[in-house]
Structure 1
Amino acid sequence: MPKRPTPGLPTREQILDFITTSPTPAGKREIARAFGLSAQDKIALKALLKDMADEGLIDSAPGRAFHKLGGLPKVTVLRIADVDDGGNVWAVPEKWEAETPAPRLRVRERKNGALAVGDRVLARTEEAGNGWIAHPMKSLARGEELILGVLHEENGKLWLQGVEKKERREFQVSDAGGAKPGDLVLAEKAGRPPRITARVTEVLGDPFAPRSFSMIAIHKLGIPTVFAPEAIEEAHRVAAQPLGDGREDLRHLPIVAIDPADARDHDDAVWAAPDDDPANPGGWQAIVAIADVSFYVRPGAAIDKEARRRGNSAYFPDRVVPMLPEELSADICSLKEGVDRAALVCHLRIAANGTLSTWRFTRAVIRVVANIAYEDAQASIDAAREDDALLPILTPLWGCWKALSKARAARAPLDLDLPERRVMLDEKGRILSVAPRERLDAHMLIEDYMIAANVAAAKALEAKKAPVMYRVHEPPSREKLIALKDYLKTFGVEFALGQVIRPGTFNHILEKVGEVDFRPQIMEQVLRTQTQAYYAPDNHGHFGLALGSYAHFTSPIRRYADLLVHRSLVDAYKLGDGGLTAGEAAAMEKIGQSISMLERRAMEAERDTIDRYVAAFLATRIGEVVDVRITGVASFGFFASVEGIGGDGLMPVRDIGREYFRYDEAGRRLVGEETGTEYASGMRLQLRLAESNPVSGALRFEMVEGASRPAPEPRQTRVIKKRGRPANIRHQGKKR
C-alpha cells in the first residue's frame, strides 16, 4: 500500500502507485478512502481520474475499478486461448474494452492438464516483468468463440464452413436464425463433443457480392469500422476551425503531392530547389510538408481515442477503413490541390552527396499546386516536353533526389525486389485484373524524401531529449543467420557468420548469386531471415534501412505513431497547441506495443482480402494448367503461387505421385527417393488449378501428366529433418 500523503488530492503518480499495489480492485471509493479525501476532494478526484483516463494513464474495468492502461483488473474472467507444445497454458480476458489489444497471460495451473482451450476461469492477475500471470480461483461455465463462415445445404441439412483456410471441419447448423444457404454468417458453437453444432447469431449477407471480401477480413479480425457519434461530431467541429495565427506562409512555393492514382488521402507533399548558399556547393533545399493532424486531433479527445483504438488505417481494393473520420482523413487534413491546408513542415538542407546538413520544423499554411499520380510524374520527366507546366517543378525534385540516392547507395540498405499485387475493380466492384504494381523512379523518389524527413524528425527530437516513437527494425537473430548459412551452402554459396552483419551483406549475397533460376529462392530466404519491424520509445535502429535513428513522421492521417511524433515535435519546439502530454510520454512503451499489434492486424486483413480477390479472379480458370512458382515447402507438401497473379495454394505431398518424397529441412525442399526429383521454394513449374475458394482465399493444385517438372540438380549432402517455417516481414515503403 502506498504511504498516505498529507490531506488533499493525491498526485497522478500516487494514484498509479495505489492502483498497481492494491491487493484488491481499486475504484474511486477505495482511492478516496485510502487518501482520506473530503467530500470536496472527491469531486476533484472524479475529474482527475477522468483526465488520467483521457491521457491514457488508466483504464476502467467492470465494476468501475481502475487499472493502468494496457493492464488488467486484479480479479477478472479469462478464457483459455492456447496450450503450447511445452504444456504452458495461455489465457486472454473474456471482455476487453480498452483501446490496446488484449494481453496474453500465462496461467499457473493447480493441476497440470486441468484446463483446455475454451475453458473460462475467474482468476487473480499479476504483472510480472513484461508479461502477466494468472492464478485461477474458480472454473466457470465454458463459453465459445464466434465462427465466421458460409452456410450450404446438403441432404436437406444446413452446414457451416468456416472462412479460415486452415478450418477443414464443417458444423451442422442447429439454429439458422433466418439465414439461408450461401449467406455469410457469424455463429457460435453449441452442444458437446462429439455432437458440436453451430447456432447463427448474425447474418452478414452474400459473401460473393462485390466489396464483401474485405468485410470478411474486417469481421474476422475485429477491425472497428464505425466511429462513435461524439467523434463524428467533434471532427465536424474541428474541421471548421481556422488554421490559426503564427503559421509560416509557404503558399508561394510550388509544392506538389505525388501519390498513387487511386489514393484516397494525401498526407505528404514535396518541393525542392538548388541551394544558393555558398557553404553548401551543389546542395539542395527541400521541403517535406505533412498534414498537421495534431492541430485537429488533440490528446484525449474523442477522435484521438478512436484513432488509438484503430492504430492505423487499413487499405483494401474496395474500401479504406480510416484511422480518422473521413471529414478529416479525406478532406480537411488531406493536402488537396488549390486549397489552403495546415501542415507541419520539415525544412531540409541536403548536401551534394545526399547527406542531411540541417533541418528545422515549422507549422505552416501551404497550397498544393497539383496532385500528381506516380505514373504522370514519371511520364513528365521521361518526355521532358517544353510545354509541360509541371516540368519546371518536377525537375529540381528529381535533381535533389539524385543526391539523396547517393546517400542511400552509401548506406547500402536492404534491397529486395518485392512486387506488390494490385487488384483493379470496376465501378460496381467487379474484378478487372490482378497484376504486380509497376515500380517507377517516381515511387523511389517519394520514398527517399519521406525517409529523409523521418530521420530528421527522430534526430530533431533526440536533440531536445524529447520522447520519440521510433520505428525499430532489429538485426536478424543468430539462429536465423545459422539457418541462412545452412540454406546457402546447399547452393554452393558461402556465408561467414563471424562477419559484422549489415544490410549490404545480404545485398552482396544476391549480387554473387546473379540472375539464376534459383535467385527467387535465395531472395525469399533472405527475407525470412529478417525480423519484424515494430514501434517503441527505445531506439535500436532500423537495420533494413541502415539507419541509426528512424521514426515515422510522414503519414499521421493513417498511422498513430506518426501523430505521436508530430505531437512530440510540437511540444519540444513550442509550435503551439496539440503537443504531447505527460501522460502520453509516460505510456509510450504500452502505446508502441499496442500500435505494433494493430499494424499486424491490419496487415493480416489486407493480405487475406487480396488472397480472396485473387481466388475469385482465378475461380473462372478452374481446370486450367497454370504456371506457378513454389513459395514454401513443408513435410506435407508445397505451397505455390500463380505467376503474375499470386494466391497461395497447396500441393499435398500425397498427390505428387507414387514416389516417396522426403522433407529436406536445410534446403527447404522435397526430394524423391527414387528419381531425385526436387521441389523447392522459388521453382517454377506447371500445375492444374483444381480449386479456388474466394471465401477462404485458398487454392488447390493437381499434378499434370507430361507438364514441365523440375529436373533434379546436383546438391551437397544434407541432413534431413523437420522444423517450423520462419516468419516474414513487411516491406517498408510508402503505402496508400
Structure 2
Amino acid sequence: MSKMPTKAEILDWIAAHPTQNTKRDIAKAFGIKGAARIDLKQLLKELAAEGHLEKRKRTYTDPDRLPPVSVLEVLPPNDQGDLFAKPLEWHGEGVEPAVIVLPRASDPALGAGDRILARLTVVHEEDHNYEARLIRKIGRSSARRVLGIFRKTPEGGRITPIDKAATLEWSVPEDARHGAKDGELVEAEQSGPKGRMGLPRARILSRLGDPSGPKAVSLIAIHQHGIPDAFPDKVLDEADAAKPMGLKGREDLRDMPLITIDPSDARDHDDAVYAEPDPNPENEGGHIIWVAIADVAAYVLPGSELDKEAKKRGNSTYFPDRVVPMLPDRLSGDLCSLHEGVPRPCIAVAMTLDRDGNKISHRFVRGLMRSAASLSYEDAQSAIDGHPSDKAAPLLEPVLKPLFAAYDALNAARDRRQPLDLDLPERKIELTEDGRVKSVKFRDRLTAHKVIEECMILANVAAAETLLAKRTPLLFRVHEEPDQDKLEALRNTAQASGFALAKGQVLKTSQLNRLLAQAAGTDEAELINIATLRSMSQAYYGPENFGHFGLALKNYAHFTSPIRRYSDLVVHRALITAHRWGKDGLSESDIEHMAKTAEHISDTERRSMMAERDTTDRYLAAYLSERVGDEMEGRINGIARFGVFVKLDDSGADGLVPIRSLGNEYFHFDREAGTLMGSDTGMTIALGQRATVRLVEAEPVTGGLELELLSLDDKAMASAPRQARGGRGMSRRRTSPAGRTKSDKGKRKVTRRRK
C-alpha cells in the first residue's frame, strides 16, 4: 500500500497537472487504492476548508487559478526585457499571479498599458506562474530598457539588473558596449527579440559610473522609475527669460510680517504665514490667519514649455541627497521661492476664526509680499519655548506668539472634527559630505510642525470652498472611505491584540481614533497604527468632490505647494479665473483635460513615492551592510505565504525572514487572520510580535535585507538549516511588506512547507 501523500505534495502535484486533478487522478498519481481513498478524500476536504483548493464539479483546483483564456494588461518591461501582465478580472483572495508574455515572431509589438486577450499555460518558474500567448491586442508602447551593473566578457559583456524583481541577465555584444567598463552602472535598451532560449540582447545607452558611489543611490531610483531629471533646452530658456514681478494688479502685502517656517534643509519656500488677533469687537477672542503662497501661475502659463514639462513631471521628487524638481531652479529656487527680504508675487488668503477655531470667513487676494524672515521649525519652537535665537527674538511677540495662539484655537476645532490621528514616526537619513549614510534617526514632531500643517489645511479648505461657490473647475484632493474588506482585516488585527473596533455602522475617523487611543502606550501601538494606515484607501486627485475621509473634511483641494505639485498650480489657475485676476488662469485645454490630468498626476505622485521608498531601502541596506551577523530587535509587521517581515527598531528598516528558514514543518498561512502556524509545533507567527533576528544579508544595490528569526516574544526558535534552495540571493528578492516581486510570486507554494 502506498504511503499517503502530505498536503504539500498534493498541492504541488495539482499545480503541476492543472488539467488532471479529479480525485481519481490524484489517487492514481500517488498509487492510493481501496479504503485509503477515504483518507485521501478527507485530506482534500481539509485543503479546501483551508482555502488552498476549490472543488468545481468533480475536479479540485487552486481557487487563485486564472482561466485558460484571459484578458490581461501588459505591465512595463522588467530589466531583462521580459513583458509581464496582470489579469484584469482577478477574483482570487491570494496575491495576484504573475503572467509572462511570450511573443512570437509574427506578433505585433507589445508594451506597457496594452490590453490583450491571451491563452495561458500554467508553469513552474521562479519568476512567474503563467505563460501567455497572444490571441489579439490593442495599443503600442516604447522600447524596453534596463538599468544594471555591466560585467565584461570575451563576447562583449552582460548586464545584471539592479531591480529586486529581476531574475535574468542581459547580453551585450562587443559593438554595443560603447566603452562601458567592468562594474559600471549602465542604462541599456533591448536591441533584439528574446527567444525562448538564451538571454535578451541589449545595447548600452549611457554609463552612469560607480554603482557603489553615494550619488548612485538616488540615481538608480530616478532611472528605474523613469523620473525625468533633465530639463529640455526650451524649458530652461523660458525659465531663464523670466523676470521678477512688480506690484501692478496686486495688493501690496510687503509691510505685513509674513514669515516662512520650513525644515532646516528646505530646498524651496512656497508658503508664508502671519496671524493677529481679530480687531472686530463682534469676534472677541478671534484670530485672523494669513497664508501666502508663491504665485507660480504668473510664471508658468498654460500651454508653455514650462507648463508642459511641469505637467509631465507632475510633482517634485525628494531624495536624501538631491531633489528632482518640477520646475527649473530659476523658478523653484529663485523667482517663485519666498526668500527673506525679497519682494515676491503671491496668492494669499486671509481667514477669520472665532475663539473656538471655527473659520467664519475668508478672502483671497493676488498680492506682492516680502518675507520678514525664513525660520526653521526648530528656530520657531525654541523661541516659543523661551530660548529665541537672535534671528527669532524680534519676531516672538509680534509674529510667533499670535501665530501659536491662533493654532491653539485651530487645534481645538481639529479635536472636535476628529481627523485620523496616526502616530507613525518619520525616518530621517543623515548623510556625510561625500553622500554616505551617517545616521538614521526619527524626526522630531514639534508643535511648530503642527502649526504650519493646520494653517495649510485651512487654506486648502478655503480654496476648495471658494471654487465650489464660484462654480469653477478644479482638482480636489480625494480620500475615500476604506474598503470594507480592509476594515474587516483591521478589526481582526485589533481583536487579536485585545482591542475593539465597532462594527455595523457608518465608519467615522473618531471610531478609528478611539482604537488608536486604546493601543497608545502599549506594545501593540505601532502595530495598530500600521494596520490602520494599511486599511486606508489611497488618496488621489480628481475633478469630482468625494471628500477627504482621513482629514474628516467635505471640501479639500491642494493649494499650498505649486512649486512642487502640479495639482496646486491648477488650483491657482482656477482661483485666477474665478476672481478674474488676469489671463493666466485656466485654459480651455486645462478644463477639457481635467480628468486626464488628475489621473496622470496621481500616477506621478505614486511613482515618486515608490522611488523615494526604494532609495530609502537602499540607503538603509548600505547603512546596515557593515552589521551583517549582528542580532537586532524588531517587531513583525507583515506576513505572507513566502515569509515574515520584521521592522527593525533602531533603523525602521524592513527585512524579510524567508519561509524556508523557519523550520522543517508544514506552515499553514491563514489569510484572514494574517498568521503562519506550524503543523508540528503549533507555533503561531502573528503581526505585532516582538522578534529578535540576525541580519543575514544586506544588499545596498537592491535595498534587500534578509533576516534569520531567533526568537519570538522572547521564546527561542527551533534551529533550522540556513541553505536556501536554488541559492538565490537577496538581490532578487523584495523586502517590503507593501508588495512582492515576481520572484516572490513564483514561490507561492513554498509557504506550505520548508523546501
Q: TM-score range by the shorter chain?
A: 0.7 to 0.9
Partner of 2:722: none
Partner of 2:695: 689
Does 2:523 correspond to 1:517? yes
Partner of 1:18: none
1:389 aligned partner, one-letter code? P
Identity %: 43
Residues 238 and 306 in structure 2, CA contact (< 8 A), matched pair in contact too: yes
Per the TM alignment, residue 248 of structure 1 is displaced from its structure 2 partner at its CA by 1.0
Residues 302 and 586 in structure 2, CA contact (< 8 A), matched pair in contact too: yes
Does 2:112 correspond to 1:107? no
Matches within 5 A, 1:414-425: 414-425=420-431
Change (3 A) 1:520 1:666: farther
Does 2:264 correspond to 1:258? no
Work out the CA distance in 1 between the residues paired with 2:382 and 2:155.
60
Task: Give the 3-state SS of the residue equivalent to 1:649 in structure 2.
Answer: strand
Change (3 A) 1:530 1:706: closer
Partner of 1:341: 344
Partner of 2:23: none
Deviations 1:222-273 (A, max 9, x none): 11111121111111112x1532402111111111100000000000000001
Residues 570 and 579 in structure 1, CA contact (< 8 A), matched pair in contact too: yes
Deviations 1:475-499 (A, max 9, x none): 0122222222333333343333311
Work out the CA distance in 2 between the residues paired with 1:82 and 1:183.
31
Change (3 A) 1:539 1:711: farther
Work out the CA distance in 2 between the residues paired with 1:314 and 1:439.
22
- Of the candidates 430, 452, 462, which is equivalent to residue 456 of structure 1? 462
Work out the CA distance in 2 between the residues paired with 1:302 and 1:91.
39
Change (3 A) 1:385 1:438: closer
* Structure 2: gaps spanning 5 or more residues: 1-81, 92-97, 104-110, 123-129, 719-735, 740-755
Per the TM alignment, residue 692 of structure 1 is displaced from its structure 2 partner at its CA by 1.0
Per the TM alignment, residue 640 of structure 1 is displaced from its structure 2 partner at its CA by 1.8
2:217 aligned partner, one-letter code? F
- Of the candidates 227, 230, 233, which is equivalent to residue 226 of structure 1? 230
Task: Give the 3-state SS of the residue equivalent to 2:609 in structure 1.
Answer: helix
Partner of 2:333: 330
Partner of 2:305: 302
Per the TM alignment, residue 587 of structure 1 is displaced from its structure 2 partner at its CA by 1.2
Residues 351 and 357 in structure 1, CA contact (< 8 A), matched pair in contact too: yes
Matches within 5 A, 1:53-132: 81-84=84-87, 104-108=113-117
Task: Give the 3-state SS of the residue equivalent to 1:628 in structure 2.
Answer: strand
Task: Give the 3-state SS of the residue equivalent to 2:148 in structure 1.
Answer: strand
Matches within 5 A, 1:79-228: 81-84=84-87, 104-108=113-117, 145-152=144-151, 159-171=158-170, 174-175=173-174, 177=177, 178-188=179-189, 191-202=194-205, 203-228=207-232
Partner of 1:616: 622
Work out the CA distance in 1 between the residues paired with 2:233 and 2:147.
27
1:148 aligned partner, one-letter code? L
TM-score w.r.t. length of structure 2 = 0.76
Task: Give the 3-state SS of the residue equivalent to 1:488 in structure 2.
Answer: helix
Partner of 1:412: 418
Work out the CA distance in 1 between the residues paired with 2:663 and 2:553.
49
The answer to which of 249-258 and 650-659 deviates more is 650-659
Per the TM alignment, residue 188 of structure 1 is displaced from its structure 2 partner at its CA by 4.5
Work out the CA distance in 2 between the residues paired with 1:660 and 1:472.
44
Task: Give the 3-state SS of the residue equivalent to 2:394 in structure 1.
Answer: coil
Change (3 A) 1:352 1:103: farther
Residues 489 and 673 in structure 2, CA contact (< 8 A), matched pair in contact too: no
Does 2:492 correspond to 1:486? yes
Residues 90 and 106 in structure 1, CA contact (< 8 A), matched pair in contact too: no
Deviations 1:38-90 (A, max 9, x none): xxxxxxxxxxxxxxxxxxxxxxxxxxxxxxxxxxxxxxxxx965142858999
Partner of 2:659: 653
Deviations 1:626-671 (A, max 9, x none): 2222221112211123223133321112112344432222232222
Partner of 1:503: 509
Partner of 1:389: 394
- Of the candidates 627, 645, 650, which is equivalent to residue 639 of structure 1? 645
Partner of 1:3: none
The answer to which of 267-276 and 621-630 deviates more is 621-630
Residues 187 and 198 in structure 1, CA contact (< 8 A), matched pair in contact too: no
Work out the CA distance in 1 between the residues paired with 2:560 and 2:716.
46
Residues 665 and 678 in structure 2, CA contact (< 8 A), matched pair in contact too: yes
Per the TM alignment, residue 385 of structure 1 is displaced from its structure 2 partner at its CA by 5.6
Partner of 1:235: 239
Work out the CA distance in 1 between the residues paired with 2:340 and 2:454.
22
Per the TM alignment, residue 154 of structure 1 is displaced from its structure 2 partner at its CA by 9.5
Residues 247 and 368 in structure 2, CA contact (< 8 A), matched pair in contact too: no
Per the TM alignment, residue 145 of structure 1 is displaced from its structure 2 partner at its CA by 2.3
Work out the CA distance in 2 between the residues paired with 1:273 and 1:302.
41
Does 2:275 correspond to 1:272? yes
Partner of 2:721: none
Deviations 1:272-308 (A, max 9, x none): 0111101211100110000000111110011000000
Partner of 1:583: 589
Change (3 A) 1:213 1:709: farther
Work out the CA distance in 1 between the residues paired with 2:306 and 2:714.
57
1:181 aligned partner, one-letter code? D
Residues 274 and 283 in structure 1, CA contact (< 8 A), matched pair in contact too: yes
TM-score w.r.t. length of structure 1 = 0.77
Task: Give the 3-state SS of the residue equivalent to 1:646 in structure 2.
Answer: coil
Residues 379 and 388 in structure 2, CA contact (< 8 A), matched pair in contact too: no
Does 2:441 correspond to 1:432? no
Residues 90 and 107 in structure 1, CA contact (< 8 A), matched pair in contact too: no
Change (3 A) 1:121 1:584: farther
* Structure 1: gaps spanning 5 or more residues: 1-78, 95-101, 126-133, 135-141, 713-724, 729-736
Partner of 2:24: none
- Of the candidates 536, 539, 544, which is equivalent to residue 545 of structure 2? 539
Task: Give the 3-state SS of the residue equivalent to 1:270 in structure 2.
Answer: strand
Change (3 A) 1:455 1:371: same
Work out the CA distance in 1 between the residues paired with 2:89 and 2:254.
62
Deviations 1:544-582 (A, max 9, x none): 000000000000000000000000001101122311112
Change (3 A) 1:151 1:297: same
1:106 aligned partner, one-letter code? R
Partner of 1:288: 291
- What value does the CA root-mean-square deviation take over the aligned residues? 3.2
Deviations 1:186-205 (A, max 9, x none): 23555522312443423221
Partner of 1:374: 377
Task: Give the 3-state SS of the residue equivalent to 2:283 in structure 1.
Answer: coil
1:162 aligned partner, one-letter code? P
Work out the CA distance in 2 between the residues paired with 1:660 and 1:530.
33
The count of residues paired between Structure 1 and Structure 2 equals 612
Residues 528 and 726 in structure 1, CA contact (< 8 A), matched pair in contact too: no
1:432 aligned partner, one-letter code? K
Change (3 A) 1:616 1:548: same
Per the TM alignment, residue 376 of structure 1 is displaced from its structure 2 partner at its CA by 1.3
The answer to which of 194-203 and 469-478 deviates more is 194-203
Partner of 1:607: 613
Residues 468 and 565 in structure 1, CA contact (< 8 A), matched pair in contact too: yes
Task: Give the 3-state SS of the residue equivalent to 2:467 in structure 1.
Answer: helix
Change (3 A) 1:184 1:385: closer
The answer to which of 659-668 and 589-598 deviates more is 659-668
